[in-house]
């Protein structure tokens, strides 16, 4: 070791204290179980500006590369990585991500911080020695580890190289083949852009005339038009956190991917109609429907969780949307009257938004899918009972899984001859329409989140 290197390491150690700042925050976030549907971006709010980007990169990057990181760790540990205590394993994962997947700190600094984090665990003396030994061995022998062979087992090769659960990769290979699956997994590992919905454009103001675009331009924020929804703005380059964007507090924008804007476009609400949203929180779709329908429409936003309804109320206030009624209740048993438009944006696996929520791939399990599909069918049944004759029932998910999408809709139509599927081509860009006539978007094909929606119309009642 050179004198210069030794001096640099010593200065670094003296400069650090007991904690490593943003890396400790990243470690906490890695160990937190995100609530299904939680806003990923809000997890980083409240951090100092100079730390926010680093923490976000460490957390999202470690989640995205976790499968590959665990594969390599398995070569340098006695036993499977998952046998380690969760926090210790996350210390190692975070360190490996920094050592091999990003260039933010010299190797000795990363190892030193991981060792210090391990020292603060129960039995830290012994564990810190394990961390130090594993990371130093990994640095020396990384290139000697043989990755799975693609020609021997394509699923294992894809799962390791693109860091996805093996069960999910096998599903996609069975449904779609190798090329589709590889492209989808690669897209899931990209950073999703920040997309906002212009409230003025949703209300019919041409985007070029919107106050929001002028506010963005005045603040040096670059915003491009979306490809499929006229109210979508895609932000590029460095921009402040969503809640610090110009126009946020004024209610000029709503943080929402373009894919999530399309169900409201497919619903095409009619002015003066009664609209129900049975799973409304956090409010993206019901607020969009309110803009599209205009002030003469009557809207009811329902959700099972009263706390989430409080968040809904805050979104309505910020957006200046009055008159939306709130209802706390189970979407399977709603005590509501029939409506002209009923939306059920059902709880789902969320596999369409894994590029935006990189922790999601490690939280969902294959055995979750049948239970979710059962819940979705129950909610759709309840929504059907609330749909007036000649009314519209919109079923939507942010899932890519057929059990949650077309299979739910097909089963429903088989049992409800009084409903018909209205082809989506007449309402949204035909490039987004599946062979069955539903909205079906994919990150690697359309450049937006994955989403599914079906427009179901109740037939006119026959006179007796």
398 is catalytic: yes
Stretch (H or E) spanning 69: helix 66-76
Q: Which of 327, 326, 319, 311 is nearest to 251 (CA)?
A: 319
Distances (CA, A) of 9 to 12, 20, 119, 129, 139: 5, 15, 19, 18, 17
Beta strands in 318-418 (DSSP E): 325-328, 339-345, 387-397
Q: How far apart are CA 252 and CA 197, in angstroms?
A: 8
Residue 224 bridge partners (DSSP): 234
The answer to whether 397 and 404 are in contact (CB under 8 A) is yes
Distances (CA, A) of 268 to 264, 273, 319: 6, 11, 20
Single out the catalytic residue among 279, 344, 398, 438: 398
Q: How far apart are CA 447 and CA 389, in angstroms?
A: 37
Residue 368: CA atoms inside 13 Å, Cβ hemisphere, count?
16
**DSSP code at position 433:** B
Distances (CA, A) of 361 to 56, 177, 356, 458: 17, 20, 11, 36
Distances (CA, A) of 35 to 22, 62, 328, 347, 457: 22, 19, 19, 12, 33
Q: How far apart are CA 189 and CA 183, in angstroms?
A: 10
Q: Which of 89, 161, 97 is nearest to 130 (CA)?
A: 89
Q: How far apart are CA 267 and CA 269, in angstroms?
A: 6
Q: Which residues belong to the active site?
A: 398
């Amino acid at each position: 070791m050179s004198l210069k290197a030794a001096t640099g390491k010593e200065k670094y150690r003296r400069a650090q204290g007991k904690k490593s700042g943003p890396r400790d925050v990243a470690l906490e976030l890695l160990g937190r179980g995100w609530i299904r549907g939680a806003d990923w971006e809000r997890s980083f709010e409240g951090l100092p500006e100079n730390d926010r980007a680093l923490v976000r990169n460490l957390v999202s990057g470690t989640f995205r590369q976790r499968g590959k990181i665990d594969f390599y760790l398995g070569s340098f540990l006695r036993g499977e990585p998952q046998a380690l205590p969760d926090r210790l394993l996350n210390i190692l994962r975070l360190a490996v991500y920094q050592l091999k997947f990003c260039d933010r700190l010299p190797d000795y600094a990363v190892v030193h911080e991981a060792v210090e984090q391990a020292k603060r665990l129960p039995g830290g003396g012994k564990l810190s020695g394990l961390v130090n030994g594993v990371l130093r061995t990994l640095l020396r022998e990384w290139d000697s580890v043989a990755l799975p062979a693609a020609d021997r087992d394509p699923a294992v090769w894809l799962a390791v190289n693109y860091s996805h659960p093996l069960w999910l990769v096998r599903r996609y290979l069975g449904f779609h083949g190798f090329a589709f699956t590889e492209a989808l997994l690669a897209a899931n590992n990209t950073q999703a852009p920040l997309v906002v919905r212009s409230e003025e454009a949703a209300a019919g103001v041409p985007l070029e005339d919107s106050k929001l675009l002028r506010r963005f331009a005045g603040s040096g924020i670059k915003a491009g038009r979306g490809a499929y929804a006229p109210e979508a703005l895609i932000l590029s380059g460095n921009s402040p956190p969503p809640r610090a964007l110009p126009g946020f507090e004024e209610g000029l924008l709503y943080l929402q991917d373009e894919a999530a804007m399309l169900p409201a476009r497919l619903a095409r609400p009619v002015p003066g109609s009664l609209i129900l949203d049975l799973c409304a929180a956090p409010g993206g779709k019901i607020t969009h429907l309110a803009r599209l329908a205009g002030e003469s429409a009557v809207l009811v936003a329902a959700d099972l969780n009263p706390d989430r309804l409080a968040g809904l109320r805050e979104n309505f206030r910020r957006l200046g949307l009055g008159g939306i009624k709130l209802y706390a209740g189970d979407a399977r048993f709603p005590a509501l009257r029939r409506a002209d438009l009923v939306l059920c944006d059902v709880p789902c696996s969320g596999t369409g938004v894994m590029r935006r929520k990189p922790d999601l791939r490690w939280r969902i399990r294959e055995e979750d899918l049948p239970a979710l599909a059962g819940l979705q069918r129950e909610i759709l049944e309840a929504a059907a009972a609330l749909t007036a004759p000649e009314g519209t029932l919109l079923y939507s998910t942010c899932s890519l899984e057929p059990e949650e999408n077309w299979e739910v809709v097909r089963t429903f139509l088989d049992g409800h001859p009084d409903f018909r599927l209205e082809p989506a081509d007449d309402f949204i860009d035909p490039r987004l329409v599946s062979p069955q006539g539903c909205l079906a978007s994919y990150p690697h094909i359309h450049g937006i989140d994955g989403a599914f929606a079906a427009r179901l119309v109740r037939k006119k009642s026959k006179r007796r």
